[in-house]
Structure 1
Amino acid sequence: MGEFILKHSPNGVWFGIFTDFAAEGVKHGVSSRVGGKSAPPFASLNLGLHTGDDAETVWHNRQMFSRAVGLPAEQIITAEQVHGDIVQVVSEHQAGRGAKHYHEAIKGTDALITNIPGLPLMLFFADCVPVLIFDPVNKAVGVSHAGWKGTVAKITQKTVLSMQQHYNTKPQDCLIGIGPSIGPCCYEVDEVVMTKLRAGFTQWEELVAPHGERWQLNLWEANRRQLVEIGVLDSKITVSGVCTACNTDIFFSHRAEAGRTGRIGAVIAL
């Protein structure tokens, strides 16, 4: 099992990496909010084009983050995330979709997979769970966006299964990185969420803690369990354990910042 660590790029950008991915030579990163040009409330490394921030500033930030990771910003492929469970297979002709303009992003998608070398896949987050996936045997990568809706729909599990279908990926070979998101310390949910959770997880009681008339939900564990369920080895799953709502000096948090904030990005490429 690897670690999640923060790095400081020479261009001033702070971002996190998973050490086991880095050891395999996989270019990847989970951005922080530090090192960009956006003004409050998006200060400062906002990567989300759909937040109300200035589009040119966001493009500048995306270029800075991409440069820090070592990937070409112009080639980034993004998605119009809708909290669903659709996985999109990405090829060369889609390079650059959504990199500069939100309306060009792949529609209605919350996970991207590819086996094309050098093609960066990037999704955006402000409390939802970023999950990076690497198959070192068949050389394929994926990234998924798992809020509570995606988590109960098992988007992360479906991303690995889609890689299995298209690239012959074996779950037991995969390295998984579960990035910073709202943690069980801060994520209170209501009966609407609990109803879906009970329907999707046989041992749902182990994913929540009662908190008055509500519950505190552990999205990290819910995503880890759905991966183990299909054969991913627990020893190959790294959970960052970093709560975005507890650390708004480093990450954006939709809940802690009352919905007016920026987005971090999670990117991966072969």
Structure 2
Amino acid sequence: MYSEELAKAGLLNVLGGQSYNFRMQSVGEQIVTEVNRLMAVLPEAPEHLYSMTQTHSNHIAYCDGESGDAYLFGRHFPDTDALITDRTGIALLVKFADCTPVILYDPQKQVQGVAHSGWRGTAQKISLSMLEQMIANFAVRPEDVLAYIGPSIDQANYEVGTEIYEAFAGIADRERFIIQGRSAGKYQLDMALANEALLLDYGLKPEQILRADVSTYEAKELHSARREGRDYGLNAMLTMMV
């Protein structure tokens, strides 16, 4: 599974789902084999690989082949939920189960970013923080950016409580993506739509935003924390400019 539109624009990408597991807690050092398998699917081998310990933060790291720490595979940042690079040959890895992977790519300036956007990251607008860093540090123009919102849990299967509803109070018209649930104090959240709303509100046009429109909960070829329960696995997306 991959985004054909991103590939056509110049960003190599691949998604590893149910036939992989990128959850270190479950697979231990076997994760090195899993990552190598996924990298082998790319038509070109990366010169460097970056990953992160995702903590539902809004922390963003820059990847240049030397930044970060040496790791079991490639280089790594702790306590980070988004990665940015302006270098070709650097692959960025983002892991997810029901959370939303968001990819931003500027084919003109050759800058890409990947974000792990769970409900906390989405409420903190991590995709916009990533875009703003790309603009500030690499002179990216919003009108040149191609956004990809990857698979995540669908609204019908993502029931949340009042505390999560209130976490989105800082986003205008939150009813666009979070609606009253089946019982009092419960809501149904669409995180893909929430991330799309953030990007549209920032000024991106609908044609700049690609959506996978695949539910991790419904698609059995993908891992889902809500469907699989305590021993859930993790999917991953790998992206690289060449």
Q: Give the TM-score band, short-chain normalised.
A: over 0.9
CA-CA distance at 1:259 after TM superposition: 2.7
| Aligned counterpart, 1:267 | 238
- For 1:43-54, list aligned pairs within 5 A: 45-49=20-24, 51-54=25-28
Runs of 5+ in structure 2 lacking a partner?
Answer: none
CA offset at residue 100 of structure 1? 2.6
- Which residue pairs with 2:196 in the alignment? 224
Cα shift at 1:98:
3.8
5 Å-filtered alignment, 1:10-159, equals 16-34=1-19, 45-49=20-24, 51-55=25-29, 57-72=30-45, 75-94=48-67, 97-98=70-71, 100=73, 105-159=76-130
Structure 2: how far apart are the matches of 1:99 and 1:224? Answer: 34
CA RMSD of aligned residues (A): 1.8
Counterpart check, 1:207 vs 2:181: no
Q: Provide, for residues 20-50 of structure 1, a one-character-per-residue CA deviation record: whole Å limited to 9, x for no partner.
A: 211123111222222xxxxxxxxxx11232x
Q: CA deviation at 1:108?
A: 1.3
- What secondary structure is seen at the aligned counterpart in 1 of 2:122? helix
1:87-145 alpha-carbon deviations (Å, 9 max, x no partner): 111112138844538xx630111000000111011111111000111101111001000
Which residue of 1 is the match for residue 151 of structure 2?
Answer: 180
Contact conserved, 1:179 with 1:241, CA < 8 A, in 2? yes
Q: TM-score, normalised by structure 1?
A: 0.83
Are the equivalent residues in 2 in contact too, given 1:130–1:178 (CA < 8 A)? yes
Q: 1:203 to 1:97 in 2, by over 3 A?
A: farther
Question: Structure 1 pair 74/169, CA: closer, same or farther in 2 (3 Å)?
Answer: closer
8 Å CA contact retained: 1:122, 1:265: yes
Structure 2 CA distance, aligned partners of 1:91 and 1:66? 18
Query: Which structure has greater helix proportion?
Result: 2
Divergent runs of 4+, >6 A: none
Q: 1:137-180, CA deviations, whole angstroms, 9 ceiling, x for partnerless residues?
A: 11100100000000000001111111111111111111111111
Amino acid of the residue matched to residue 207 of structure 1? F
| Partner residue, 2:167 | 196
Report which of the two has the higher share of strand: 2
Q: Percent identity?
A: 24
Instruction: Give 3-state SS (helix, strand or coil) of 1:77's partner.
Output: strand
How far apart in 1 are the matches of 2:26 and 2:44?
25
SS of residue paired to 1:241 = coil
Contact 1:98 1:105 survives alignment (8 Å): yes
How many pairs align?
239
For the Cα contact (< 8 Å) 2:96–2:234, is it kept in 1?
A: yes
**TM-score normalised by L of structure 2:** 0.93
Q: Describe the shift of the 1:163–1:99 C-alpha distance in structure 2 as closer, same or farther (beyond 3 A).
A: farther
In 1, are the aligned partners of 2:47 and 2:89 still within 8 Å (CA)? no
Residues in 2 aligned to 1:239 and 1:151: alpha-carbon distance in whole angstroms: 16
